[in-house]
Homo-oligomer: A and B are copies of this chain.
Amino acid sequence: MNTIFSDRIADVPRSFIREILKVSLDRSVISFAGGLPNRDLFPAEEIKRATAKVFEIYGNDIFQYSNSEGDLRLRQYIARRYREKKNLVVDPENILITNGAQQGLDLIGKTLLNEGEGVIIEEPGYLGAIQAFSIFRPKFLPVTVSEDGVDLAELKGIVSLETAKLMYTVPNFQNPSGITYTEHNRREIADILAGTNTFLIEDDPYGELRFSGTPKTPFAALMPERTLLLGSFSKIVVPGFRVGWIVAPAPVFNKLLVAKQASDLHTCHFTQYIIHQYLLDNDIDAHIARIVAAYGGQCRRMLSCIDTYFPAEVTSTRPEGGMFLWGRLPGGMTSLDLFNLAVKEKVIFVPGDPFYTTGVKSPAFRLNFSCVDEATIETGIERLGKAIKLLGKEG
Protein backbone atom coordinates (compact mmCIF):
# COMPACT_ATOMS: atom_id res chain seq x y z
CA MET A 1 0.00 0.00 0.00
CA ASN A 2 3.01 2.29 0.23
CA THR A 3 2.76 4.16 -3.04
CA ILE A 4 -0.81 5.29 -2.48
CA PHE A 5 0.22 7.92 0.04
CA SER A 6 1.60 11.39 -0.45
CA ASP A 7 5.34 11.74 -0.06
CA ARG A 8 4.75 14.27 2.69
CA ILE A 9 2.88 11.92 5.02
CA ALA A 10 5.75 9.43 4.92
CA ASP A 11 8.01 12.15 6.35
CA VAL A 12 6.00 12.78 9.50
CA PRO A 13 7.50 11.11 12.57
CA ARG A 14 5.07 9.11 14.72
CA SER A 15 4.46 10.72 18.07
CA PHE A 16 6.78 8.71 20.32
CA ILE A 17 5.24 10.57 23.23
CA ARG A 18 1.82 9.14 22.44
CA GLU A 19 3.32 5.67 22.27
CA ILE A 20 4.87 6.17 25.68
CA LEU A 21 1.59 7.34 27.14
CA LYS A 22 0.28 3.81 26.62
CA VAL A 23 2.84 2.44 29.12
CA SER A 24 1.71 5.05 31.59
CA LEU A 25 -1.79 3.51 31.77
CA ASP A 26 -0.28 1.11 34.36
CA ARG A 27 -1.16 2.90 37.62
CA SER A 28 1.93 1.57 39.43
CA VAL A 29 4.19 3.38 36.95
CA ILE A 30 5.21 6.93 37.87
CA SER A 31 5.18 9.03 34.74
CA PHE A 32 7.40 12.02 34.07
CA ALA A 33 6.66 11.42 30.39
CA GLY A 34 3.49 13.47 30.03
CA GLY A 35 3.31 16.91 28.53
CA LEU A 36 0.01 17.74 30.15
CA PRO A 37 -1.02 20.52 32.50
CA ASN A 38 -2.11 19.36 35.94
CA ARG A 39 -5.79 18.42 35.79
CA ASP A 40 -6.31 19.13 39.50
CA LEU A 41 -5.75 22.82 38.74
CA PHE A 42 -8.40 23.16 36.05
CA PRO A 43 -10.97 25.82 37.02
CA ALA A 44 -13.85 23.37 36.65
CA GLU A 45 -16.55 25.14 38.68
CA GLU A 46 -15.76 28.51 37.10
CA ILE A 47 -16.00 27.04 33.60
CA LYS A 48 -19.29 25.39 34.48
CA ARG A 49 -20.66 28.76 35.54
CA ALA A 50 -19.26 30.46 32.44
CA THR A 51 -20.93 27.83 30.26
CA ALA A 52 -24.33 28.38 31.91
CA LYS A 53 -23.95 32.11 31.32
CA VAL A 54 -23.00 31.64 27.67
CA PHE A 55 -26.16 29.57 27.10
CA GLU A 56 -28.21 32.25 28.83
CA ILE A 57 -26.73 35.26 27.01
CA TYR A 58 -26.20 34.09 23.45
CA GLY A 59 -29.04 31.69 22.64
CA ASN A 60 -28.82 29.84 19.36
CA ASP A 61 -25.96 31.98 18.00
CA ILE A 62 -23.46 29.71 19.73
CA PHE A 63 -24.61 26.72 17.68
CA GLN A 64 -24.38 28.24 14.20
CA TYR A 65 -21.41 28.39 11.84
CA SER A 66 -19.23 31.38 12.63
CA ASN A 67 -16.40 33.46 11.20
CA SER A 68 -12.96 32.04 10.47
CA GLU A 69 -11.05 34.73 12.37
CA GLY A 70 -12.54 33.76 15.74
CA ASP A 71 -14.59 35.67 18.30
CA LEU A 72 -13.66 39.37 18.13
CA ARG A 73 -14.19 39.95 21.85
CA LEU A 74 -11.81 37.13 22.71
CA ARG A 75 -9.26 38.56 20.27
CA GLN A 76 -9.68 41.98 21.91
CA TYR A 77 -9.14 40.40 25.33
CA ILE A 78 -5.93 38.74 24.14
CA ALA A 79 -4.65 42.05 22.71
CA ARG A 80 -5.49 43.87 25.94
CA ARG A 81 -3.66 41.27 28.02
CA TYR A 82 -0.53 41.51 25.84
CA ARG A 83 -0.54 45.26 26.39
CA GLU A 84 -1.07 45.03 30.14
CA LYS A 85 1.24 42.10 30.89
CA LYS A 86 4.03 42.46 28.35
CA ASN A 87 3.66 46.04 27.16
CA LEU A 88 3.19 44.52 23.72
CA VAL A 89 0.92 46.38 21.30
CA VAL A 90 -1.06 44.01 19.12
CA ASP A 91 -4.11 44.80 16.99
CA PRO A 92 -7.00 42.35 17.62
CA GLU A 93 -7.44 42.31 13.83
CA ASN A 94 -4.05 40.58 13.62
CA ILE A 95 -5.03 37.74 15.95
CA LEU A 96 -6.36 34.53 14.40
CA ILE A 97 -8.01 31.99 16.72
CA THR A 98 -6.82 28.44 16.07
CA ASN A 99 -7.46 24.92 17.42
CA GLY A 100 -4.68 25.22 19.94
CA ALA A 101 -1.26 26.56 18.99
CA GLN A 102 -0.60 23.26 17.19
CA GLN A 103 -2.95 24.33 14.42
CA GLY A 104 -1.07 27.62 14.24
CA LEU A 105 2.00 25.64 13.15
CA ASP A 106 0.01 23.81 10.48
CA LEU A 107 -1.45 27.07 9.11
CA ILE A 108 1.97 28.75 9.08
CA GLY A 109 3.41 25.78 7.21
CA LYS A 110 0.56 25.91 4.71
CA THR A 111 0.93 29.63 4.18
CA LEU A 112 4.68 30.01 4.01
CA LEU A 113 6.50 26.76 3.27
CA ASN A 114 7.33 25.44 -0.15
CA GLU A 115 8.83 21.97 -0.34
CA GLY A 116 12.55 22.01 0.36
CA GLU A 117 12.59 25.47 1.95
CA GLY A 118 14.59 25.96 5.11
CA VAL A 119 13.17 25.82 8.63
CA ILE A 120 15.62 26.63 11.41
CA ILE A 121 14.59 24.44 14.31
CA GLU A 122 15.78 24.15 17.88
CA GLU A 123 17.67 21.00 18.79
CA PRO A 124 16.32 19.61 20.97
CA GLY A 125 12.98 20.96 19.78
CA TYR A 126 9.26 20.55 20.21
CA LEU A 127 8.13 17.32 18.61
CA GLY A 128 4.73 18.74 17.63
CA ALA A 129 6.46 21.43 15.57
CA ILE A 130 8.68 18.89 13.85
CA GLN A 131 5.55 16.89 13.01
CA ALA A 132 3.56 19.90 11.81
CA PHE A 133 6.32 21.19 9.52
CA SER A 134 7.26 17.72 8.22
CA ILE A 135 3.93 17.73 6.38
CA PHE A 136 5.33 20.49 4.15
CA ARG A 137 8.63 18.70 3.50
CA PRO A 138 11.00 21.51 4.45
CA LYS A 139 14.74 21.29 4.89
CA PHE A 140 15.25 21.29 8.64
CA LEU A 141 18.21 23.41 9.72
CA PRO A 142 18.91 22.42 13.32
CA VAL A 143 20.47 24.89 15.73
CA THR A 144 21.64 23.79 19.15
CA VAL A 145 19.77 25.03 22.21
CA SER A 146 21.64 25.32 25.50
CA GLU A 147 21.10 27.19 28.78
CA ASP A 148 21.15 30.70 27.26
CA GLY A 149 19.09 30.04 24.15
CA VAL A 150 20.22 29.09 20.67
CA ASP A 151 23.89 28.81 19.74
CA LEU A 152 24.50 32.18 18.07
CA ALA A 153 27.61 31.13 16.13
CA GLU A 154 25.72 28.19 14.70
CA LEU A 155 22.79 30.43 13.81
CA LYS A 156 25.09 32.90 12.03
CA GLY A 157 26.62 30.01 10.11
CA ILE A 158 23.20 28.73 9.02
CA VAL A 159 22.01 32.18 7.99
CA SER A 160 25.19 32.78 5.95
CA LEU A 161 24.86 29.48 4.08
CA GLU A 162 21.14 28.85 3.78
CA THR A 163 17.91 30.69 3.03
CA ALA A 164 15.44 29.93 5.77
CA LYS A 165 11.76 30.72 5.45
CA LEU A 166 11.09 30.13 9.12
CA MET A 167 12.86 29.90 12.43
CA TYR A 168 10.94 28.05 15.13
CA THR A 169 11.54 28.94 18.79
CA VAL A 170 10.01 28.33 22.22
CA PRO A 171 11.94 31.10 23.98
CA ASN A 172 10.28 30.73 27.40
CA PHE A 173 10.73 27.46 29.36
CA GLN A 174 11.34 25.56 26.19
CA ASN A 175 9.83 22.18 25.48
CA PRO A 176 11.70 19.87 25.97
CA SER A 177 14.67 21.53 27.74
CA GLY A 178 12.98 23.98 30.12
CA ILE A 179 15.53 26.70 29.24
CA THR A 180 14.72 30.37 28.59
CA TYR A 181 16.46 32.52 25.99
CA THR A 182 18.38 35.33 27.70
CA GLU A 183 17.73 38.96 26.84
CA HIS A 184 21.09 39.05 25.06
CA ASN A 185 20.36 35.90 23.07
CA ARG A 186 17.03 37.32 21.87
CA ARG A 187 18.54 40.60 20.73
CA GLU A 188 21.37 38.83 18.94
CA ILE A 189 18.90 36.55 17.15
CA ALA A 190 16.85 39.57 16.06
CA ASP A 191 20.06 41.17 14.76
CA ILE A 192 21.14 38.05 12.90
CA LEU A 193 17.74 37.66 11.26
CA ALA A 194 17.42 41.38 10.46
CA GLY A 195 19.16 40.97 7.12
CA THR A 196 17.02 38.00 6.04
CA ASN A 197 13.46 37.27 4.94
CA THR A 198 13.06 34.69 7.69
CA PHE A 199 9.92 34.76 9.83
CA LEU A 200 10.54 33.87 13.46
CA ILE A 201 7.88 31.76 15.15
CA GLU A 202 7.66 32.64 18.82
CA ASP A 203 5.73 29.74 20.30
CA ASP A 204 4.86 30.80 23.83
CA PRO A 205 2.46 28.36 25.50
CA TYR A 206 4.25 28.47 28.86
CA GLY A 207 5.24 32.16 29.06
CA GLU A 208 2.85 32.98 31.90
CA LEU A 209 4.05 30.02 34.00
CA ARG A 210 7.14 31.75 35.42
CA PHE A 211 8.09 30.77 38.98
CA SER A 212 11.49 32.48 39.23
CA GLY A 213 13.67 35.01 37.41
CA THR A 214 12.40 37.96 35.38
CA PRO A 215 10.33 38.10 32.17
CA LYS A 216 12.25 38.71 28.94
CA THR A 217 11.38 40.86 25.95
CA PRO A 218 9.23 38.98 23.44
CA PHE A 219 10.48 38.64 19.87
CA ALA A 220 7.16 40.19 18.87
CA ALA A 221 8.46 43.43 20.43
CA LEU A 222 11.99 43.12 19.03
CA MET A 223 10.99 42.31 15.44
CA PRO A 224 7.22 42.78 15.10
CA GLU A 225 7.15 42.67 11.29
CA ARG A 226 8.90 39.30 11.14
CA THR A 227 7.46 37.52 14.18
CA LEU A 228 4.58 35.06 14.23
CA LEU A 229 3.57 34.83 17.88
CA LEU A 230 1.65 31.76 19.01
CA GLY A 231 -0.35 31.65 22.21
CA SER A 232 -2.79 29.28 23.86
CA PHE A 233 -5.23 28.91 26.73
CA SER A 234 -4.20 25.27 27.09
CA LYS A 235 -1.71 25.77 29.91
CA ILE A 236 -3.46 28.62 31.80
CA VAL A 237 -7.15 27.63 31.47
CA VAL A 238 -7.82 24.21 29.88
CA PRO A 239 -6.28 22.36 26.91
CA GLY A 240 -9.28 20.24 25.96
CA PHE A 241 -11.20 23.22 24.55
CA ARG A 242 -8.53 23.59 21.83
CA VAL A 243 -8.32 27.38 21.79
CA GLY A 244 -5.06 29.01 20.78
CA TRP A 245 -4.06 31.87 18.51
CA ILE A 246 -1.55 33.34 16.08
CA VAL A 247 -0.52 37.00 16.06
CA ALA A 248 0.72 37.83 12.57
CA PRO A 249 1.51 40.97 10.53
CA ALA A 250 -1.42 41.88 8.26
CA PRO A 251 -0.15 40.42 4.94
CA VAL A 252 0.58 37.07 6.57
CA PHE A 253 -2.63 37.21 8.60
CA ASN A 254 -4.71 37.48 5.44
CA LYS A 255 -3.13 34.35 3.97
CA LEU A 256 -3.37 32.45 7.26
CA LEU A 257 -7.08 33.22 7.21
CA VAL A 258 -7.44 31.65 3.76
CA ALA A 259 -5.58 28.58 5.04
CA LYS A 260 -7.82 28.46 8.13
CA GLN A 261 -10.98 28.53 5.97
CA ALA A 262 -9.64 25.75 3.79
CA SER A 263 -8.58 23.68 6.81
CA ASP A 264 -11.75 23.60 8.90
CA LEU A 265 -13.82 26.79 8.33
CA HIS A 266 -13.46 27.97 11.93
CA THR A 267 -12.53 26.97 15.47
CA CYS A 268 -15.42 25.88 17.69
CA HIS A 269 -16.74 29.19 18.99
CA PHE A 270 -18.82 27.69 21.79
CA THR A 271 -15.57 26.97 23.65
CA GLN A 272 -14.21 30.39 22.60
CA TYR A 273 -17.26 32.03 24.20
CA ILE A 274 -16.92 29.96 27.35
CA ILE A 275 -13.26 30.85 27.77
CA HIS A 276 -14.02 34.51 27.15
CA GLN A 277 -16.82 34.46 29.73
CA TYR A 278 -14.53 32.68 32.18
CA LEU A 279 -11.87 35.36 31.69
CA LEU A 280 -14.39 38.18 32.21
CA ASP A 281 -15.86 36.75 35.40
CA ASN A 282 -12.72 35.46 37.14
CA ASP A 283 -9.30 36.61 38.28
CA ILE A 284 -7.09 34.81 35.78
CA ASP A 285 -3.94 36.22 37.39
CA ALA A 286 -4.85 34.65 40.71
CA HIS A 287 -5.55 31.38 38.93
CA ILE A 288 -2.20 31.49 37.12
CA ALA A 289 -0.51 32.26 40.47
CA ARG A 290 -1.93 29.01 41.86
CA ILE A 291 -0.59 27.04 38.89
CA VAL A 292 2.80 28.72 39.17
CA ALA A 293 3.00 28.01 42.92
CA ALA A 294 2.28 24.32 42.32
CA TYR A 295 4.60 23.85 39.34
CA GLY A 296 7.36 25.88 41.01
CA GLY A 297 7.20 23.73 44.12
CA GLN A 298 7.21 20.55 42.05
CA CYS A 299 10.15 21.73 39.96
CA ARG A 300 12.21 22.66 43.04
CA ARG A 301 11.41 19.31 44.62
CA MET A 302 12.43 17.47 41.46
CA LEU A 303 15.73 19.36 41.31
CA SER A 304 16.51 18.65 44.95
CA CYS A 305 15.66 14.95 44.47
CA ILE A 306 17.93 14.87 41.43
CA ASP A 307 20.74 16.24 43.62
CA THR A 308 20.01 13.50 46.15
CA TYR A 309 19.37 10.43 43.99
CA PHE A 310 21.16 10.89 40.67
CA PRO A 311 24.91 10.25 40.25
CA ALA A 312 26.73 13.61 40.24
CA GLU A 313 27.71 13.17 36.58
CA VAL A 314 24.08 13.48 35.48
CA THR A 315 23.39 17.14 34.68
CA SER A 316 20.06 18.94 34.47
CA THR A 317 18.68 22.29 33.39
CA ARG A 318 17.20 24.55 36.09
CA PRO A 319 13.97 25.97 34.59
CA GLU A 320 12.51 29.29 35.69
CA GLY A 321 9.03 28.21 34.65
CA GLY A 322 6.98 25.87 32.50
CA MET A 323 6.53 22.14 32.87
CA PHE A 324 9.78 20.39 31.90
CA LEU A 325 13.40 19.93 32.73
CA TRP A 326 16.10 18.24 30.74
CA GLY A 327 18.61 15.77 32.11
CA ARG A 328 21.78 14.53 30.50
CA LEU A 329 23.52 11.20 31.11
CA PRO A 330 27.31 11.03 31.24
CA GLY A 331 29.67 9.53 28.67
CA GLY A 332 28.28 6.90 26.33
CA MET A 333 24.97 6.25 28.05
CA THR A 334 21.81 6.64 25.96
CA SER A 335 18.44 7.68 27.27
CA LEU A 336 16.69 4.95 25.29
CA ASP A 337 18.70 2.29 27.17
CA LEU A 338 17.81 4.09 30.38
CA PHE A 339 14.15 4.07 29.40
CA ASN A 340 14.10 0.28 29.13
CA LEU A 341 15.61 -0.11 32.61
CA ALA A 342 13.38 2.63 34.05
CA VAL A 343 10.19 0.92 32.87
CA LYS A 344 11.20 -2.10 34.98
CA GLU A 345 11.66 0.25 37.95
CA LYS A 346 8.15 1.61 37.27
CA VAL A 347 9.10 5.09 36.22
CA ILE A 348 9.01 6.62 32.75
CA PHE A 349 10.11 9.79 30.95
CA VAL A 350 10.66 10.80 27.33
CA PRO A 351 14.09 9.88 25.89
CA GLY A 352 15.76 12.72 23.99
CA ASP A 353 15.79 11.08 20.56
CA PRO A 354 12.42 12.27 19.17
CA PHE A 355 13.30 15.91 19.92
CA TYR A 356 16.01 15.84 17.24
CA THR A 357 15.46 15.95 13.48
CA THR A 358 18.85 14.38 12.89
CA GLY A 359 18.36 10.85 14.21
CA VAL A 360 20.63 10.82 17.26
CA LYS A 361 21.04 8.30 20.09
CA SER A 362 20.55 10.97 22.70
CA PRO A 363 22.06 10.90 26.19
CA ALA A 364 19.44 13.46 27.24
CA PHE A 365 15.89 13.02 28.50
CA ARG A 366 12.85 15.12 29.36
CA LEU A 367 11.22 15.09 32.77
CA ASN A 368 7.76 16.58 33.27
CA PHE A 369 7.04 17.99 36.72
CA SER A 370 3.59 19.56 36.22
CA CYS A 371 1.46 16.45 36.66
CA VAL A 372 3.11 14.73 39.63
CA ASP A 373 2.78 15.73 43.29
CA GLU A 374 5.92 16.28 45.36
CA ALA A 375 5.83 12.98 47.25
CA THR A 376 5.47 11.06 44.01
CA ILE A 377 8.30 13.10 42.50
CA GLU A 378 10.54 11.94 45.35
CA THR A 379 9.65 8.27 44.78
CA GLY A 380 9.93 8.56 41.01
CA ILE A 381 13.30 10.31 40.98
CA GLU A 382 14.63 7.77 43.49
CA ARG A 383 13.53 4.97 41.14
CA LEU A 384 15.06 6.75 38.16
CA GLY A 385 18.32 7.25 40.07
CA LYS A 386 18.38 3.49 40.69
CA ALA A 387 17.87 2.82 36.97
CA ILE A 388 20.69 5.22 36.05
CA LYS A 389 23.03 3.43 38.45
CA LEU A 390 22.04 0.06 36.97
CA LEU A 391 22.74 1.43 33.50
CA GLY A 392 26.16 2.62 34.68
CA LYS A 393 26.99 -0.90 35.87
CA GLU A 394 25.81 -2.45 32.60
CA GLY A 395 27.86 -0.05 30.50
Contacts and interface: CB of A to CB of B under 8 A. Distances in A.
Interface string A96-116: 001110110010001111110
Interface stretch (A6-14, A292-300, A330-338): A6-14
8 shortest interchain CB distances as A-B pairs:
A63-B238, A99-B264, A103-B264, A131-B262, A42-B63, A242-B268, A1-B251, A63-B240
A290 interface: no
Nearest to A250: B1
A240 B65 contact: yes
A15 interface: yes
Contact of A55 (B48, B66, B106): B48
A259 B128 CA distance: 11
A15 B48 contact: no
Interface string A234-258: 1000111110000000011001001
20 contacts: A4-B251, A4-B252, A8-B114, A12-B259, A39-B61, A39-B64, A42-B63, A44-B59, A51-B55, A64-B239, A100-B265, A102-B264, A110-B135, A132-B262, A134-B262, A135-B259, A241-B268, A263-B263, A268-B271, A270-B271
Nearest to A59: B44
A360 interface: no
Contacts of A55: 44, 48, 51
A60 interface: yes
* Majority SS at the chain A contact face: helix
A6 B113 contact: yes
A303 B282 CA distance: 53
A242 B7 CA distance: 29
Contacts of A9: 110-112, 255, 258-259
A329 B263 CA distance: 33
A156 interface: no
A62 interface: yes
Interface in A21-63: 36-37, 39-40, 42, 44, 47-48, 51, 55, 59-63
A18 B267 CA distance: 16
Contact of A106 (B51, B165, B199, B263): B263
A266 interface: yes
Contacts of A114: 6-8
A235 to B, nearest CB: 11
A71 to B, nearest CB: 11
A258 B110 contact: no
A330 B353 CA distance: 66
A131 B262 CA distance: 5
A308 interface: no
A102 B263 contact: yes
Interface string A124-136: 0000100110111
A197 interface: yes
A7 B112 CA distance: 8
A383 interface: no
A63 B373 CA distance: 19
Contact of A240 (B7, B8, B66, B113): B66
Interface string A258-294: 1101111111111100000000000000000000000
B270 A240 contact: yes
